[in-house]
Amino acid sequence: MLGPVMPDGGICVTLGVIDSHNPHDPPRSSSSMEEGELLIAGIGSLGCAWAKAAQARVTNWVDLTLVDADDSSMVGVRHANCLLLGDTPSEVGCAGMPQLAEARMRSLQPIASHFLEKAELVLLLTGLGGGSGSGASVEFARQAAQAGCLVISVAAMPFEAQSERQKIAEDALPRLSKVSHVCVELSLDRMAWQARERGVDWQQGSAWVEELAEGLMRTLANVGLINLDLMDLRAIVSKSGGSTLLVAEGHCDEAQELYLRARSSPLAAMSVGGATGCLLQVEGGPHMTLKQVEAVADAFTDGLSIDAQVILGARVSPDLEERMRVVAVVSGLPRGASDGLV
């Protein structure tokens, strides 16, 4: 531990630097996490596709749950808890019927409770606007929270041209947000736009979701003291108000650039100004300096409330060399805040 540091603005930051061993294989010490404590859950077809891709990056130490009315979402998966919403031919499909998906998810609670009781953190990925994701994700998040899990939901909003889907999504989002500790809203339009910029198909634009999931899971698992870190995360997300996630990777000397990259991810417009809580994890190569960590902390905490609680962790991962990976959970945001991100 390097002890508390006080960056500009008077925000008190607790800083810990932990050397990770092999970045690809986080330690599972006896005092750290147990199997099943970290869970990525995909709900609905898009959510399942994202969850499979995200969990494939952290396969040895994060479990996977797939929930959909369509069993093709579960094809080709080796180790996952698969929950099919309706298991007779007449029941298959929840197209445009979120209430039906929600009711079916409710009836699956006895099965879901087996793995939700063990889990500490659930990262829920879903695309709103269809039936399965919009209905079942609300009920799944409710069950997870009831089982004592910390629930972080990432929900994609439909393309603006899809007005029927928009309506369903706008109904589902506040309900999902209410039963999640953190609910991050993604815009498929922004994602598609960014994918086009890079010359890839919009569905491949999901690399950002995978990075977010991987970054968050590494933040929580790599440090070895999972419970301590989950407690830090709990302290941050328990603040009242809105919350969001920021993730970025870039050169370790470009703190401001890293921050701007994190802010331009396909999140819906949301200002982090006035936030009262921030958990910031900075990961860099072996030559990362305290000065670089502080520069990133300054860039990410600039504009937070003057008395914000900031918990800062830093970790050395040899594979990052000159690069830095930053994951921030920002909470206590004034409701309805928007700064019109492009």
Ligand X SMILES: Nc1nc2c(ncn2[C@@H]2O[C@H](COP(=O)(O)OP(=O)(O)O)[C@@H](O)[C@H]2O)c(=O)[nH]1
Q: Give the interface with ligand X as residue ranges (CB under 6 A).
A: 44-47, 68, 127, 129-133, 158-159, 162, 165, 188
Residue nearest to Mg ion (CB): 45
DSSP state of 265: S
* One residue of 32, 45, 276, 305 binding Mg ion per CB under 5 A: 45
Cβ at position 80, least distance to ligand X in Å: 16
Which residues make Cβ contacts (< 8 Å) with residue 78, sequence separation at least 6? none
Helix extents (H) in 198-265: 207-221, 226-237, 255-263
- To ligand X, the closest distance from the beta carbon of 67 in angstroms equals 9
Site string for Mg ion, 67-106 (x = CB under 5 A): ---x------------------------------------
Nearest approach, Cβ of residue 152 and ligand X (Å): 19
Nearer to Mg ion, 70 or 229 (CB): 70
Distance from first CA to last CA of the chain, Å, rounded?
A: 39
Kindly indicate which of the ranges 44-52, 172-180, 296-304, 320-328 contains the residues binding Mg ion, using the contact rule CB under 5 A. 44-52
In the list ligand X, Mg ion, none, the entry touching 313 (Cβ below 5 to 8 angstroms by class) is none
Residue 221 makes CB contacts below 8 A (sequence gap 6+) with: 26, 32, 33, 38, 58, 61, 62
Q: How far apart are CA 136 and CA 106, in angstroms?
A: 8
Minimum CB–partner distance for residue 169 and ligand X (Å): 6
CB of 327 to ligand X, least distance (A): 25
Q: For helices 132-146 and 44-56, what crossing angle results, to 10°?
A: 60
Q: Residue 86 binds which one of ligand X, Mg ion, none, with CB within 5 to 8 A depending on kind?
A: none
- CB-nearer residue toward ligand X: 192 or 316: 192
Three-class SS state of 182:
strand
User: What is the Cα Rg of the chain in Å?
Assistant: 19
Query: Of these partners, ligand X, Mg ion, none, which one is at the site of residue 133 (CB under 5 to 8 Å by kind)?
Result: ligand X
When the beta carbons of 41 and 299 are compared against ligand X, the nearer one is 41
* CA 52 – CA 205 distance, rounded (Å): 15
Instruction: Give 316's strand partners.
Output: 19, 284
Which residues of the chain form contacts with Mg ion (CB under 5 A)?
45, 70
